[in-house]
A and B are shown apart, each in its own frame.
Chain A
Amino acid sequence: MRSDVAFVIPVYNEGKVVKDVIESVREHYSEVVAVNDCSTDDSAAQIQAGGAYLVNHPINMGQGAALQTGIEFVRTLPGIRYVVTFDADGQHRLEDVATMLEVIEREGKDMVLGSRFLGTEAVGMSRSKRSVLKAAIAFSNATSGVKLTDTHNGLRVFTKRVADEINISMPDMSHASEILEIIRRNKYTYCEVPVQIIYTDYSRAKGQQAINAVNIAFDTLLRKVAR
């Protein structure tokens, strides 16, 4: 049981699964922060039932904002050395977190990112999602200056120092691109670790709309011009 690692789990309407996810995390890690992004279901109660710290957004602000809120809450927890961003829907595996923690401690990197495209085949990823994702990754690599094989992976591990400095402010799902820009701007050291994302029927039904990639691209390019 580790208490020097804090999990940040953004939650929006995951009342059916979030308690199980939190409980499985808390078998190994005691500090779990779940940010309820103004869910309309019973997510908040489920989070508390699972035993995680509950932080409630008063309005729906998106996953990026939920991550930032969770990270700022973690800043007030004593004794934290690493922060893990983790999905609420059971797509992430704790074995991968253990691997990433081992890597970050051994290599001394600022951030370790999970990648679906480093060898292990993503379980159940549809063809269309894969091609949209590949295009998004190419775009991200071109605009952020950071070259990764998987730029939109929600499973990340970073140090307390990064948690203290990070500031995610772009709307909703653009946060993935913004984190890369932050890596480049603050010159963080990073590496990727192969992880496996489990696409169940439940999580697939809730995935991002492919067309949202257009919104993200627009926001990213506009930010370069109108900062």
Chain B
Amino acid sequence: MQGKLRWGDFVICAVVLALAGLITLPFLFQPSDSLTCEIKQGDTVVKTIRLADGYQDTITLTAGDITNVIEVDGKSVRFASSNCPDQVCVHTGTLTRAGQMAVCLPTRVVVRLIGEDTTVDAVAR
């Protein structure tokens, strides 16, 4: 008698499966090629943008006398200009894939693309 399943057992099963479904749901509906641009200055996230074709934006950030101009064009982001002395941020070029990053050391601005479809874990440069 003890080995037989009762209706209560099925209720528990249903609850467990529903919970499992709820946990999975957000991941199922998130497109695997979604790309988010995170712009940080120091420890503060200044802007987070979900990148999409046709989207355009220009973000200007300053630190002291230095101004960074960051351009978003569809699914690509770049430091369009900067008056920092080393120009490393501008020389980094255009970010188009998850895991890519550009940094302006003098202004402490970091632009990073985040997404599921990561080809590489980091870039040595």
B is bound to A? no
- Residues of B at the A interface (CB closer than 8 Å) are none
- Residues of A at the B interface (CB closer than 8 Å) are none
